[in-house]
Amino acid sequence: TRWLSCSPRVKWKRSICSDSLASSEEPSIRMAAFGRAREALICVIGDEDTVTGFLLAGVGEVDAKKTSNFLVVNPKTSVQTIEDAFKTFTQRDDVAVVLITQTVAETIRHLLDEYSAMIPTILEIPSKENAYDPTKDSIMVRIMKKMSVGDS
């Protein structure tokens, strides 16, 4: 019996994932349209429970240089450390999405408000203790303004 699992990267292959996920149009080719011809990662910044969940789902990666694509934030984590991780993740050319819990996003709101690139895409997600509030999500607020929905 052959074990099938998905790579932590966003590239799907028959040898990596089940045949139903493979297609004639490789996602890496579609990614090239966004200027990323290689595989792309999902990065996570959040509390221990959130990051652990994504790591168990296969999102985590640590390369040979001991560079990871995640940051576990706890009460002792400095704002500078969070800012540095955000800047590093958004400047990497192998990252497609950065997931950040909304409570952590509040600590670096100024960076999120300044961020305007489409890729990597920044998504604010709820944490175990705090529900998602779309009025605090700067990306969602910008989308609502563009669509003329909600408060302006």
How confident is the model over 140-150, as pLDDT tens digits?
A: 777 777 787 55
Q: How many CB atoms lie within 10 A of CB 112?
A: 18
Lowest mean pLDDT segment, chosen from 102-106, 114-118, 126-130, 132-136: 132-136
Bigger pLDDT: 148 or 75?
75
Q: What percent of the chain has pLDDT over 70?
A: 72
Q: In which order are the strands placed within the sheet that holds 121-125?
A: 70-72, 41-46, 95-101, 121-125
